[in-house]
Amino acid sequence: MMGWIFGFLIFVVVLFAAVTYMLYWYDTANGPAFEQLQSLSRGKARRWLVRGFLWAVAAQITALVTFPLGWIPKRKGAAPRSGSTDPIVVPVHGLYHNRSAFIFLERALRRAGIQDIHPWTYSSWKAEFLSLAEKLRGHLETLHRSAPSRPILLVGHSLGGLLARHAATTAHEGTVSGCLTLGSPHQGSRLAVFAVGTLGKSLGYRSVLFETLESLENRRPEPSFPCVALASPVDNMVLPQEALVPPGAHWQFRWTSPMSHVAMLYHPEVLHVVVSWVKEASAQNRSPMA
């Protein structure tokens, strides 16, 4: 019986990866993004597509296997030490996920000597975007008040990156010291029409939500802290490709090697970049010139 269940789950994962990459290819190959993909891949766009598909299968299996770990009650750790200047890293997961999304990243950060990691989690079913962003902002401001000398660095995957972006931009000045997003739909996604729930459906490409976010964020001063957006050129969940690019000149946008949307949580390249960024952002915060 277990063999049948396992086989069915593998079939669903492969089917999901195949369907999303067919939609990705249809959208990309019939638009201006194809020329960019050809340029980035040096004429090997189809090979990159296959790599993305394989990563999608592997990453989705990893996500399914590790997902139950997010249900285990997290032991309440000590409050952040107020006298330290070590960073406090706040990872924010994406739609339909939980704190298990960052188990690989947490391990990589701890190995690098970064111990204060406070994942922020939420329900994808019972809230709308702005109320979630407000809760995250309140959480960040509380953290900052408890340890004002310590830099708070946000790392968000997918929808989590959008929440991090908006909360960081609208929080009181000095609350956040850096924001990094992974595969976030900064301008929405055409695949949002297939989402289940109000929160997911609100993420349509250039929907009213994104007009509202940009309007609210434009009323605030441009952030002085580093803002970095990482994205895969073969992301199978954010369509069109240009939707991965955040608005605002203060954002630094970087392409990764070809991988799927979920693979950004587990790929060694991304983990290395995130750990390096946390170290750099922390060092900048300690510098008298920062």
DSSP state of 173: T
Residues 30, 200: Cα–Cα separation, whole Å: 25
Q: How confident is the model at residue 1 (pLDDT cuts 50, 70, 90)?
A: confident
Residue-wise pLDDT tens digits, 154-176: 999 999 999 999 999 999 999 99
Question: Average model confidence (pLDDT) for the chain?
Answer: 94
Interhelix angle for 159-170 vs 129-146, to 10°?
60
Across 40-49, 53-62, 256-265, 279-288, least confident range? 279-288
pLDDT digit string, tens, across residues 238-282? 999 999 999 988 999 999 999 999 999 999 999 999 999 999 999
Q: What is the pTM of this model?
A: 0.95
Could you say which of 3.40.50.1820, 3.40.50.720, 2.40.30.260, 3.40.50.2300 is the CATH number of the domain covering 81-286? 3.40.50.1820
Query: Euclidean distance between the first and final Cα of the chain, in Å?
Result: 59
Distance CA 197, CA 101 (A): 20
Q: What are 10-26's pLDDT values in tens digits?
A: 999 999 999 999 999 99
Give residue 287's pLDDT.
57
pLDDT digits (tens, 9 = 90+) for 117-145: 999 999 999 889 999 999 999 999 999 99
Least trusted range by pLDDT, from 71-80, 105-114, 183-192: 71-80
pLDDT value at residue 148: 94
Total Cβ atoms within 10 A of residue 131 = 12
- Residue 286: pLDDT band (50, 70, 90) is low
The reported pLDDT for the residue numbered 290 is 43
